[in-house]
């Protein structure tokens, strides 16, 4: 099956609910094989997290809806992988 295979999202969220809840809710979605969340930054009211979601034919709208329902906001989509296989980024001299 073709479609979105990996998404990396930069998300701003309140302290509550905990990051664990984000991971568990996203992992429940159809076609999601795994979720990794990395805490990037924390301040008095919010946390910046990087969410990596791996699967087959991921539904971006469902993912966005869960994040927003939990009070988060997607700042940016930092990586998108689609197609039959996952193609890793290659560093070049400009990087």
Tell whether the model's pLDDT for residue 1 goes beyond 70. no
Cβ-Cβ contacts under 8 Å for 21 (sequence gap 6 or more): 70
- The first and second tokens of residue 64, run together, are 């966005």
pLDDT top residue among 84 and 22: 22
**Domain spans of the chain?**
4-74
H helices of 28-93, in order, are: 60-69
pLDDT above 70: percentage of residues in the chain: 98
pLDDT tens for each residue of 52-81: 999 999 999 999 999 999 999 999 999 999
Q: Which fold would CATH assign to domain 4-74?
A: Alpha-Beta Plaits (3.30.70)
């Amino acid at each position: 099956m073709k479609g979105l295979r990996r998404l990396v999202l930069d998300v701003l969220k309140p302290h509550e609910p905990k990051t664990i809840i984000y991971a568990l809710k996203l992992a429940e979605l159809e076609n999601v094989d795994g979720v990794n969340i990395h805490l990037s930054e924390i301040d008095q009211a919010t946390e910046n997290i990087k969410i990596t979601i791996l699967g087959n034919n991921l539904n971006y709208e469902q993912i966005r809806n869960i994040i927003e329902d939990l009070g988060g906001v997607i700042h940016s989509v930092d990586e998108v992988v689609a197609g039959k296989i996952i193609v890793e980024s290659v560093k070049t001299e400009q990087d």
